[in-house]
Amino acid sequence: MAEASVLANYEPLNNFWKIFPSFRAPKLYNDLYEEDKSKGKKRSSDIMWALVFMFDKTEYNPYKTLQMSDKIEVINEDILDDAKFDWEPYRRLIDFTELIFMTEIERTYYAYLEKMEQRRKLIETSEYSLSTADDLDKIIKSTDTIRKELDNLKKIVDQQEADGRTKGDIIESARERKLF
């Protein structure tokens, strides 16, 4: 059976606020709603859908496996219809949404995953020469250790999802508690 997801209700014309009025309870979300002067609160609705697409990890999210930078780029185009959308004024909303949709272990795992991608790109784009060989060799050698730690975190994340509970008394996200 599919995990419950806000995205199960996504349609491009669906107004987020009409489907999920409870999301106005947090002040940050309500401020976004109240400050929106667009017809039918469409702009803030689209931003909320985009935020959910950033962090929802269920099968309903076609972007779930993308790195965050790639995910934002695609979401800007696909959901917001604005490739140049500037998320900087919405940084607090992004951070808050991440807290709601992800546990501490999930946040740690995805942060490590992002760093591994940066490491991969560094190795890929670095010139291998006499002056860089030692440093690159150390990076390449230590990548396996970091990959193992990442795999261990992934197992914990997967186990949490399977068990429906957290390890180490970590606070469950709102999604896990089925609050949204």
Based on the domain organization, do 92 and 125 belong to the same domain? no
- Residue 94 phi, psi (nearest 5): -60, -50
Q: Is the pLDDT of residue 11 over 90?
A: yes
68/1 Cα distance (integer angstroms): 27
Based on the domain organization, do 10 and 80 belong to the same domain? yes
- Cβ neighbors of 11 (< 8 A, separation 6 or more) are none
Based on the domain organization, do 89 and 48 belong to the same domain? yes
Based on the domain organization, do 74 and 118 belong to the same domain? no
Determine what percent of the chain is predicted with pLDDT higher than 90.
62
Per-residue model confidence as pLDDT tens digits over 132-158: 999 999 999 998 898 898 899 889 888
The total of structural domains in the chain comes to 2
Per-residue model confidence as pLDDT tens digits over 55-111: 998 889 999 989 898 999 999 999 999 999 999 999 999 999 999 988 898 888 888
**Structural domain of 86:** 1-101
Model-level pTM? 0.74
Based on the domain organization, do 91 and 118 belong to the same domain? no
Q: Which of 79, 101, 123 delimits the end of a domain?
A: 101
Based on the domain organization, do 126 and 87 belong to the same domain? no
Based on the domain organization, do 46 and 91 belong to the same domain? yes
